[in-house]
Amino acid sequence: MNAVLEVTGIKKNFGGISAVDGVSFDVREGEILGLIGPNGCGKSTLFNCILGQLTPSGGEVKLDGKLVTGLRPAELNKLGVSRTFQLLQVFPKLSVRENLILAGQEHQGNMASRLVGRSDAGLTEAANQMIGFFKLDHLADEPAGGLSYGQQKLLDAAMAFMGGPRLVLLDEPAGGVNPSMLADLKDRLVAINREKNATFVVIEHNMEFVMSLCSRVMVMAEGKVLAMGRPDEVRKNPAVIEAYLGH
């Protein structure tokens, strides 16, 4: 299988501390890759380096074999890479539907057509579908800021899918989502992965969620890759048990 994303030797230093210290891995077309590791081991920082939110201190990122290190987040998104955030990032005063239209509009037409064309960029239908898909129907016209934490988390994930991305990096999508909704969320992710052929990288602390969702899991510790493999292999890896799963 082809690698959608190839990350080679990514480093990120903050002053003296080295938050990410030479991380390399591939993400294969169509897979769901889990990323786990203790708090502060550099998972979110790694995402931010891949997505152009932070400039890496070293290393490179390739998308479909093309070098994309140094591209701005908006440019990467245009190439089909989207994300969710660990901390809630929605547009609080806009309605749920407007949030979703906003999330997809830059993938429709060009600057001129977005000025003179349809006010919804032709996305109302797609937004309504996404709303139904994530069971947010009764909240469609509510301002996003008024939703509960878990609901905003779902909206944040839904927004990442509006542009029809090929690769989605999800930073703790299950954090704060209640157990019954969690099962729903997993179903949604699997469905989008299969139907839309979208590739995922998922950071998550909920082991059960990761192990049942992902085809491969990468474990980080102190800015480095500790292990990479199928969930059952990773679970048995002594170094992983020692560093992470043990306590």
Partner 1 sequence: MSAFAKPLKIALGLAVIAGLIIVPMNFNRYGLFILSQWAVMAIAAMGLNLTLGYAGQVSLAQGAFVGIGAYAAAIMTTHGWPLPVAVVVAIALSFAVGWVLGYPALRVQHHYLAFVTLAFSTLAFLVFRNESWLTGGIYGISNIPRPHILGIATSKPLPFYYVCLGSLAIVSLAVWWLIRSPWGRAFMALRENPLRAQSLGIDTKRYTLMAFAIGSALGGVAGALYAPLTQYIDPVPFNLSLSLDLLMMVIVGGAGFYFGPFLGAMIAVLLPEWLRFTEGYYLMLYAVAVMLLLIWSPTGILGILDRYLAERRTKAASALRAVAKSRLETVQ
Ligand X SMILES: Nc1ncnc2c1ncn2[C@@H]1O[C@H](COP(=O)(O)OP(=O)(O)OP(=O)(O)O)[C@@H](O)[C@H]1O
Contact residues toward ligand X (CB under 6 A) are: 14, 17, 19, 37, 39-45, 86
> 46: which 2 tokens?
């790694």
Q: Which of 9, 40, 72, 212 binds partner 1 (CB under 8 A)?
A: 72
Cβ nearer to partner 1, comparing 18 with 53: 53
Cβ nearer to partner 1, comparing 1 with 112: 112
Does residue 106 touch partner 1 according to CB under 8 A? yes
Alpha-carbon span 2 to 20, nearest angstrom: 25
Residue 29, C-beta contacts closer than 8 angstroms, at least 6 positions apart: 1, 2, 3, 4, 197, 199
Angle at 60 (CA atoms; ends 55, 64), nearest 5 degrees: 115
Q: Which of 4, 21, 43, 85 binds partner 1 (CB under 8 A)?
A: 85
Alpha-carbon span 2 to 94, nearest angstrom: 39
Does residue 235 touch partner 1 according to CB under 8 A? no
Residue 53, C-beta contacts closer than 8 angstroms, at least 6 positions apart: 47, 73
Does residue 240 touch partner 1 according to CB under 8 A? no
Beta bridge pairs of residue 12? 20
Alpha-carbon span 148 to 112, nearest angstrom: 36
Cβ nearer to ligand X, comparing 41 with 121: 41
Does residue 73 touch partner 1 according to CB under 8 A? yes
Cβ nearer to ligand X, comparing 25 with 134: 25
Residue 41 binds what, of partner 1, Mg ion, ligand X, none (CB under 5 to 8 Å, by partner type)? ligand X
CB of 155 to partner 1, least distance (A): 11
Q: Which of 163, 214, 227, 240 binds partner 1 (CB under 8 A)?
A: 163
Residue 19 binds what, of ligand X, Mg ion, partner 1, none (CB under 5 to 8 Å, by partner type)? ligand X
Question: Which residues form the interface with partner 1 (CB under 8 A)?
Answer: 51, 53, 72-74, 77-78, 82-83, 85, 89-94, 98, 101-103, 105-108, 111, 114-117, 119, 121, 159, 162-163
